[in-house]
Structures are given as structure tokens and as C-alpha cells.
Amino acid sequence: MTIFVKNKHTLQIDEFKFRCCIGKKGSTSKKKEGDKKTPKGIFKIENLYFRSDRIEQPKTLLKCIKIRSDMGWCDDINFPEKYNKLIKINKKLRHEKLKRKDHKYDLLIPIKYNFEKPTTGLGSCIFVHLTKDYKPTSGCIALKKIDFLILLKLIKKNSKIKIF
């Protein structure tokens, strides 16, 4: 099963179309850290991370991981061995904190962009996450919670995402 992000406003799975938002500066095949663009291409997806203090574990075939307060995703180009990986928060490393005050990361799925052997500076922390207002992201893809929950019921561990 493939998730299609056809343009900056539409995510589609089979006949289901959802409104979404992407990076503030659109999509690109030349992604760079901090460019506010969503990477183009076909990518595998990772596990579902969720805030168990805010939401019940959703019904999905993805592996579900509860977000803890010490979890972060490294975006520090000075630490290539940790770059674009889940880390235990460390003040020495720049990172995206997964347990946030807002609700954007109550549900999130990392997209396996620049993932297997990450190259520093090519972009990190590319997630499918939540939005309330469809404001452009820093490079992620965001959906309303109700649509995200439907998406979770449709996708499988081997699902891919194709971003145009």
C-alpha cells in the first residue's frame, strides 16, 4: 500500500483523500537541513509514536511506541553517528523533542528519508504528524487527528509514502 502526497494539500490512500499540509517552501528533490521543504520521493515509514497520556493506543498494524519525556530525534549535523535517529535527550545534541506541550506529536510516524545511512545536512526529523490549522510545516506532512486515525487503520508496516 502506498500513501500519496500529490500536492501541498492532498494526501491519498486508495480512494481516501485527506487534506494535509507540507513544508512551508513546498517539496524538493534536493532537501537540506532547515530548508523548510518536504523531500520528494518514495520512502518507507517507521513505527507509530504516540502520547499515551493524551491518547489511547490507536488501532494500527504499525508497531506502537509510547513517547517518553526523554525521547528526541537528533538533527545535529555535528554528530553524524546520531543524526536523524531516535535518541535519549542529551543537552549536548540538537534535537527535536518528541514530548511537546502542543499536540503536534501526540501521534507521529517518522518517514524513512535519509534514514538507513543518514548523511548529515540532507535533512532529518521528517514526520507525518498532527495539525489543527494546516499551517505549513518545517518539512513534515501534517494531518488532522481524525484523518491520522483513519490513515493508521489503512496502512501496514510495509506501506510506503510517495511525495510528489
Cα–Cα distance measured from residue 35 to residue 45, given in angstroms and rounded to the nearest whole number:
21
> Which residues, other chains included, contact 130 with Cβ-Cβ below 8 Å and sequence gap of 6+?
103, 104, 105, 106, 107, 108, 142, 143, 144, 145, 148
* Cell triple for 99: 514530548
Burial group, residue 29, by CB count within 10 angstroms (0-12, 13-18, 19+): exposed
Q: Are the C-beta atoms of residues 155 and 161 closer than 8 Å to each other?
A: no
Whole-prediction pTM: 0.96
Residue 116 CA to chain centroid, in angstroms?
16
Residues of the domain holding 35: 2-163
Cα–Cα distance measured from residue 144 to residue 111, given in angstroms and rounded to the nearest whole number:
18
Q: Are the C-beta atoms of residues 105 and 129 closer than 8 Å to each other?
A: yes
Cα–Cα distance measured from residue 2 to residue 63, given in angstroms and rounded to the nearest whole number:
18
What's the structural domain count of the chain? 1
Question: How many other C-beta atoms can be found within 10 angstroms of the C-beta atom of residue 99?
Answer: 17
Look up the CATH number of the domain holding residue 135. Answer: 2.40.440.10
**pLDDT value at residue 6:** 87
Element (H, E) at 152: helix 145-154
Closest by alpha carbon to 123, among 27, 41, 31? Answer: 31
pLDDT per residue as tens, the chain (164 positions):
899 998 889 999 999 999 999 999 999 999 999 999 999 999 999 999 999 999 999 999 999 999 999 999 999 999 999 999 999 999 999 999 999 999 999 999 999 999 999 999 999 999 999 999 999 999 999 999 999 999 999 999 999 999 99
